[in-house]
Amino acid sequence: MNVNVMTHPLIQHKVTLIRNVETGSKDFRELLEEITLLMGYEITRDLPLEDVEVQTPLVKAIGKQIAGKKLGIIPILRAGLGMVSGLLELMPMAKVGHVGLYRDPETLKPVEYYCKLPSDLSDRRIIVTDPMLATGGSASAAITLLKEKGARDIQLMCLVAAPQGVEAVNKEHPDVRIYVAALDEDLNEHGYILPGLGDAGDRIFGTK
């Protein structure tokens, strides 16, 4: 399996809190934002830098700034929305696109209902966000759509993944780097991740 599991103690601590069934929507949203910010710090570690001249109050100096590719954050609606604010804190210059998919409860297959993307996808590093990577159907479908629209440099960022979801995305999109805060054990008969955290969208937005 080709997946990066983020083992930073702060991330692991917060993942335990967010799994807890007693954690309400407000705390769930805050924890998700905090975890995303910590993960974002890690996944942008390899962004290229270039030299730039900066005038300090004393002298001219050479500093570093992010070079090259621009960034795009693409949440898979709805639950992926919960991971946008953490990334925007780090990268306020990123453009945000949206892909709307829901998983049919019977077939577990993704159904697309919305798509609005930045026009210059091929020039951007794209970070796809979705807290849950279960069967992998939704993430794979979203990535296929983004590639059809020109995206070439894609990272997938999830909170919790099942091995089946990682394998499915690895198989369909071997070029996509996957980052998760936790790699769980299995899926249940309804396609929910075990131990997981339940339905991420419902927990973020307080629906059921």
Which segments are annotated as binding site for uracil? 193, 198-200
Beta-strand relationship, 186-187 and 193-194: antiparallel
Binding to ligand URA in span 117-136, by CB under 6 A: 132, 134
Any alpha helices (H) in 91-150, and if so which ranges?
137-148
Give CA separation, 147 vs 153, 156, 171, in Å.
9, 13, 15
Q: Is 201 in the site for ligand PRP (CB under 6 A)?
A: yes
Shortest distance (Å) from residue 10 CB to ligand URA: 23
Residue of 134, 200, 197 lying closest to 169 (CA atoms): 134
Any alpha helices (H) in 20-136, and if so which ranges?
25-43, 84-90
Binding to ligand URA in span 140-199, by CB under 6 A: 191-193, 196, 199
110 binds, among ligand URA, ligand PRP, none (CB under 5 to 8 A by kind): ligand PRP
137 binds, among ligand URA, ligand PRP, none (CB under 5 to 8 A by kind): ligand PRP
- Catalytic positions: 103, 107, 199, 202
